[in-house]
Structure formats: structure tokens, C-alpha cells
Structure 1
Amino acid sequence: ATSIKQRIMMQLVKNESQTDIADDFSVSGWTVRRVINHLDHVFKPNYHWLPRHIAFDDFHSGRFAPSGMSMILVNIENHRTLNIILSRRSSFLRNYFLRYSHRARLAVQTVTVDLYTPYRRLIQELFPHALIIADHFHVVAQAYRALNQTRIKVMNRAGKSSRQWRALKHFWKLLLTPSALLKYDNFWRRRNFGYAQLTDIEVIHRLLAFDDELKQAYQYYQGLILAVNHRSKSALNQLLAIKWTALPQAFQKVQRTLRTHRQKIIASFKYDHYTNGPVEGTNNKIKVIKRTAYGFRNFFHFRVRILISLPNSYIAINWHNKTAHVQGQARAA
């Protein structure tokens, strides 16, 4: 029985559902659950240490979490996962981080987050020495979504049977592509423009000619990408100086949000190598784990499977060392 439990522990590393693991070893699903429950002591974080540079981001977890959203905490310097936190609500996050010693929280120098305003007040309270950095992905995503909304609005205004509607629907990816990635020399026959041979740039010019609001939205979106990619404080300030009422409706909220977080965005230009990109990649892995398991009803099981499966997490590194020790004992026996 002990050897089977040890083999189940080693099998948990693989992205395999608990039911399949139980079938592999001819045991009940409850046996696999008991093995996971006995791992509680292995998966306790070190509440006396935090890295200098951290990042956290929310993701869809399950019904066990308030609002269905949980948080992932990462060491942004080496992209190692620190922990999975049950809820993203401010009261829960405050109680969670207060478990860490005051000295550990004072050691945190930067916190990279999205533009969710309540996080700012919470971070200032919990990590008084930390500089808050706005994640570049979430900054650009604000304008990305607004441009897409404007595109759909212009499509609906033109009518479903119109040439403009079909062209804006067909070339939506091209419209959202950063201008630096557009091609100037690919003369292709474009069915939506009478099979004329047009480059990507020429297609964009024709799309923007459909509507002034779309053109203004596109220019704002590309201007923001340019400012972020070149870490240009002057370009950002020039963009944020635009009167928000003069912008398309979808971009008015974007302008107010970016103005609120101006200093966080400028701080991100100095620490441009600290982004939530690795966190977003981890979120994709979590989706795969959830899909394989057909969802989770127990947060502890969910957290354990994530932390074991992520090879770069601190807990997974300790876990691999533990399982290697177990394997060595089994071979010796």
C-alpha cells in the first residue's frame, strides 16, 4: 500500500486526471484524494521570505473561489511560481499577505500588476517599500479591446450586407496588428477590395478611410504601442494629453484609466524586463490542467496539481527533490 501511494505521488506530476491515475493503479478515486490531502505540509509557503520583485495576476479558477477568480503569485526575476491564492478580493489578499513577516514584506522592491485600482492601495499598505509597476500587456490590452469595440460599432453602423462590414470583419487581425509588424511589400489580391493587389499597409489605409472614428481609434492604439515599446515618457504624456471627450467613446474610459495609472506605467519603462508575460503563460497551463481534470471542486487539490505541474515553481522544485528521494528509497528496498 505504501509503494502504491508513493507511485501515485510521483504520477501527480503528470497532467492526468485523478480518475485516470486511480484507474492506472487500480485504486479508488478516494485513495488518490487522500494521497493529495496528506501533502498539506509539503505545500506550505515560507512566510518568512519574499523575493525582491514579485507579480500577481488573477485567473478563472472555479466555483470554490469567491467570484470564480483566484490569484497566481510569481517571482518576476526568475519566473518561478510562489503560490496560488484562493481569491483576488482585497480583504482576502490582505489576510493572505499579512501571514508573511513584516521583514519579508519590507524586502519587496517592486510589484508588477494590472491596472485594477484596488490593488494599488492594497500594495501600498502591504509592501510600503515597493514600487508599483503597470504590466505592459494590460496597458496595451486596454486600447486593444477599445479598438475592437470601435471596429464592431463601425461594422454595425455600415450594415451587415455592406462592403465595409465584410472588409472590417475579414481584416480584423490586420487592424489590431502593431504597425511595426505590417508588411509593405506583400502585394496580394484582396477579394474585399475588388481583387486589387494591395499590401497590408494599403489595406489598413482603405479600412481607415471607412470611418473617422475608426481612424482616430487606430491612431491612439498604435501610439500607445509605440510609447510602450520605445519606453517613451514623452510619447506617453503626449498621448494622455489628448482631451478624453475628443476621443471615440470606447477610448474615453481607456484615457481616464491610463491617466490614473500614469506613474505606474512610467515606472514600468525603467523596469521594462519585469512583465506579467510569464504569468500569462502560466495561466494557459492552468487552463490545460483544468480541462484535463474536467474542472475542480476542491481548491486544495486544484492548487496542488498546479504547483506540482509547473516545473519552475519553488514548491515543484522541492517536490521533485522529495520524489527523487522516494524513488531512491524504493530502488534500495
Structure 2
Amino acid sequence: MKNCTLDLLGIKDSRLQFDPKYKNKVTTDDFYNHRKARFIHLLQSYPCFCPVCGKKMKRNGFKTVEMVGLPSGGLTNIFSIRKQKYLCPSSAACPKTITKLAEVQDVKANARISQAVKYQAVSKLGQNISQKYIATDFCISSMTVMRFAQGVSTYLKPNQHYLPQNIAFDDFKSGNFSQSGMSIIVMDIATHRTLDIVRSRQNTYLRSYFLQYDRQARWAVQTVTVDLYSPYRAFIHDVFPNALIIADRFHVITQAYRALNQVRIQAMKQAGHGSHNSRALKHYWKLLTKDSAHLDFKHYHKSRNFRNLQLCEQDIVERLLAMSADLRLAYNYYQTLLQAVHQGNPALLEELTQSAAGLPDPVKKTNRTLRKHRQEIKNSFETTFSNGPIEGTNNKIKTIKKTAYGFRNFENFRLRILVELKNSYVSLNFHSA
């Protein structure tokens, strides 16, 4: 029964036993932050031999220490341990008096928190819980939780002798940690494993970061998937000379999507506030951004903006395009780009970007961007790689920042992200250790 109770309390040291000095082995009292704690009185005493002469040491009284253990039953367990003190008097074999204190398994010397608490606190960081709540659960401070997490820093160092053949990176808002306010996620896009979090997206910083990797590792990279941010191109060609740049298809379509919305808003302003055309363009804006191949042409419904006429989605879109010639041009450009990307048709993309004569100004600007990155967009047609997994990770990072109410230290911020991401190499290495 005694061993079962100690095992349930998370005590692994078989030499620990309930202290016979105390009639009530368990007491409760206020301990930390006015929380009730359960005090469990234990005794640690065993035969100890001198590390110098090898003789059995004399018992020399006790020293009582308190150690925080795992909580149970809604209370924090505090182990009040009477540790045996040992003494080996000076003799011919021992020139100096040797003293020792009984040790507890899984607790470091001079530590007051059990290893079980440390492991549980670090594992809780893998969930979407703030450090403050984790600290409250284990009756420790929030900085102690982060200090425990920093113990896994050996797993956070990237392997500078290896890079995957297919990588991708994208920026995300990180706050004041960098001058631009943006940091970078680096990912193995083939396996969706997060490689690292880089502080800044500036070219000089990114170049110095990737140059830490061996030349063979960098030259082994075959593809780099990125968005259409132009400054990335120069350093990618220098750092990864053998890599093929792949433009992310989502960002390609987003260019035309934004241009179409700008033209639609211009048409609304030209029609005048509160006019029939303005209300219709505002109400049915989602139909304009929908793939024309997916527009419903079978089901008819009453349309308030068109005098309650029975119309299908295709009819509504046709009426909207009739309100503005520029809107029709922007819509046709957007739909043609969607078709080229979805079908992976380089000839159609080439034809679309050849000339921008007569197009509205926002679409002309988009066309210049797509023409500049035309070869990279064609490269995306030949692979299934995209920045979709990174965009999902970005959303996860937003949740982490919101839960923590922000971070003031980038290393702690990076640590929390990599520990919480289940698909990171850090997580894999830590759990397999």
C-alpha cells in the first residue's frame, strides 16, 4: 500500500518512506500565492559510504528540506523530506572530515523542484496555454517554467551541415524583434517540418543566417518556394545557386484578386454612394471573386438588388459586369489567371502577360509583377509545392502570441513556437531523446 501511494505521488526513489516521526503523514496549509498545499512528510535514510576511504559513514542528524511535487486532487504536493546527514571523521585514510547529505533520486543537488514537475511544465508548453497558467498549476513562477524550457535548447540548434532538398520560407508579423517588424519561418516543404524561426527578413540578415550552413548543404537545395517579394531573389541566387525558385500560387492569384477589388471599388465610387450599382457591387462582391467554373447556373433565387428578379449566380455576375467596362476587363483577367494556375497552363499564362494594353491601372501593375516572375510561376506548375503549410503555421503563431499577450524576448518567442509546433524537428528530437 505504501509503495502504491508513493508511486501515485510520482515518487520514484524506493528509499523514501513516510516519516514515522509524524503521526499525521499528510497535512494541509497555505503555501504559495495563498493556495492550499498538501504537505507529505517523508524520510530519506540509507547506509552511505565515504567516497574517499570507502568506510561506512556515521549518521549525523537530519536536515529537513521541502520539494515541490506533482499536484493531485486539486492540491499542490509539497514533500517535506528529513534527509539524513552523514559524517566521516578525519583519519589516516581521510585527512579531512567528509560530510554528505542523503540524495533523492530524480532531484538535482540543492534543487527544490522535482524533475517530474520540470518535465510536465515543459510538456504543457506544447499546448495553447500561457506560462502564467502553467506556473499556477505547478505552484512555481512563470520564469521558472521558461527556464525549464530553455533546458531543451540543445534541441533548438539547427544542423548547419544539412538542408532539405525542397525548402520554403515566408514572413510573419513578430513585432519589434526586427527593424521591419517581420520574421521568417523556414520549412521543409516536402515533409511540412519547421526548420527554424529567423529573427528578420532583411536580405543582409537572411544572407548571414543561411551562410552559416555548409556549402554542400546549401548547394544541395533544389527548390525554394517563396512569395513574390522581389528582394528575396538576389540572395536566393547567391546562397542557393542550384535552387529553382517557385512562386507560391496563392500569392500569384492574390495579386489579381486585389486588383479586381480595387477596380470594383472604383466602379462603386463612380456610380455614387447609395446608387443601385454601388449597392449591387457591394452586396455581390464575393461572386466576382468566385471561379467562373463554379458559378451556379441551375438554381434561381429572388435578388433584392435587381427588383426581386429570379436570377442565378451567372446572371448576377453578368449584370454586375455590365455596369463597368473596366470591371469586365479586370474580371476576365482574374478568371484567365485562375484558369492558367488551376490547369498549370504555361501557354495561357504567357498569352495573358504578354500585353496589358487597355487594362485598368491596378491590373496593369499586377501584370507587370506577374510578367517579372513569369518563369517562377511556370515552375510552380511542375510541382505540388506551395506555401500553404507555412500560412497554417502563421495562424498558429498568431494564436501563440495572443495567448501569451506578446513576448519581449525573441529567443523565448522562438523557443515557444518550436516547442508548440508538433511538426517541428525540435519536437521530434525532444520526444525521441
TM-score range, shorter-chain basis? over 0.9
8 Å CA contact 1:106, 1:128 repeated in 2: yes
Partner of 1:214: 327
Aligned pair count reads 320
8 Å CA contact 2:188, 2:195 repeated in 1: yes
Higher helix share: 1
Give, as a single letter, the amino acid of the residue that structure 1 aligns with 2:387: N
* Structure 1 residue ranges, 4+ long, deviating more than 6 angstroms after superposition: none
Give, as a single letter, the amino acid of the residue that structure 2 aligns with 1:296: F
CA distance in 2 between counterparts of 1:150 and 1:99 reads 46
Distance apart, 1:203 and its partner CA: 0.7
Give, as a single letter, the amino acid of the residue that structure 1 aligns with 2:390: V
Give, as a single letter, the amino acid of the residue that structure 2 aligns with 1:276: N
Give, as a single letter, the amino acid of the residue that structure 2 aligns with 1:129: N
Counterpart secondary structure, 1:112: strand
- Listed one character per residue, the Cα deviations across residues 19-49 of structure 1 (whole Å, up to 9, x for unaligned) are 1111111211221222233332221111110
Give, as a single letter, the amino acid of the residue that structure 2 aligns with 1:67: S
Among 30, 41, 51, which residue is 2:143 paired with? 30
* TM-score calculated relative to the size of structure 1: 0.93
- Listed one character per residue, the Cα deviations across residues 78-120 of structure 1 (whole Å, up to 9, x for unaligned) are 1111111111110110011001100100100010111111111
Counterpart secondary structure, 2:349: helix
Among 237, 240, 248, which residue is 1:135 paired with? 248
CA distance in 2 between counterparts of 1:34 and 1:314 reads 21
- Listed one character per residue, the Cα deviations across residues 292-313 of structure 1 (whole Å, up to 9, x for unaligned) are 1112221112112211222111
Among 286, 290, 313, which residue is 2:424 paired with? 313
Partner of 1:146: 259
Among 390, 402, 409, which residue is 1:279 paired with? 390
CA distance in 1 between counterparts of 2:185 and 2:369 reads 24
Among 394, 400, 404, which residue is 1:289 paired with? 400
Distance apart, 1:253 and its partner CA: 1.2
CA distance in 2 between counterparts of 1:38 and 1:274 reads 35
Distance apart, 1:65 and its partner CA: 2.4
* TM-score calculated relative to the size of structure 2: 0.72
Higher strand share: 2
Partner of 2:363: 251
Partner of 1:327: none
8 Å CA contact 1:109, 1:131 repeated in 2: yes
Q: How does 1:169-188 map to 2 (within 5 A)?
A: 169-188=282-301
8 Å CA contact 1:216, 1:247 repeated in 2: yes
Q: How does 1:55-204 map to 2 (within 5 A)?
A: 55-204=168-317
Distance apart, 1:236 and its partner CA: 0.4
Distance apart, 1:68 and its partner CA: 1.1
Distance apart, 1:52 and its partner CA: 0.5
Matched, 1:269 2:381: yes
59-68 or 198-207: bigger deviation:
59-68
CA distance in 1 between counterparts of 2:181 and 2:294 reads 36
CA distance in 2 between counterparts of 1:18 and 1:157 reads 53
8 Å CA contact 1:56, 1:71 repeated in 2: yes
CA distance in 2 between counterparts of 1:165 and 1:71 reads 40
CA root-mean-square deviation = 1.2
Q: Which runs of 5+ in 1 are unaligned?
A: 323-333
- Listed one character per residue, the Cα deviations across residues 205-254 of structure 1 (whole Å, up to 9, x for unaligned) are 011011001110010011101011111111001101123x5211111111
8 Å CA contact 1:134, 1:264 repeated in 2: yes
Matched, 1:224 2:224: no
Q: Which entry has the higher C-alpha Rg, 1 or 2?
A: 2
Distance apart, 1:319 and its partner CA: 2.2
CA distance in 2 between counterparts of 1:160 and 1:97 reads 52
8 Å CA contact 2:152, 2:430 repeated in 1: no
Counterpart secondary structure, 2:231: helix
114-123 or 313-322: bigger deviation:
313-322
Distance apart, 1:66 and its partner CA: 2.2
306-315 or 84-93: bigger deviation:
306-315
CA distance in 2 between counterparts of 1:183 and 1:282 reads 33
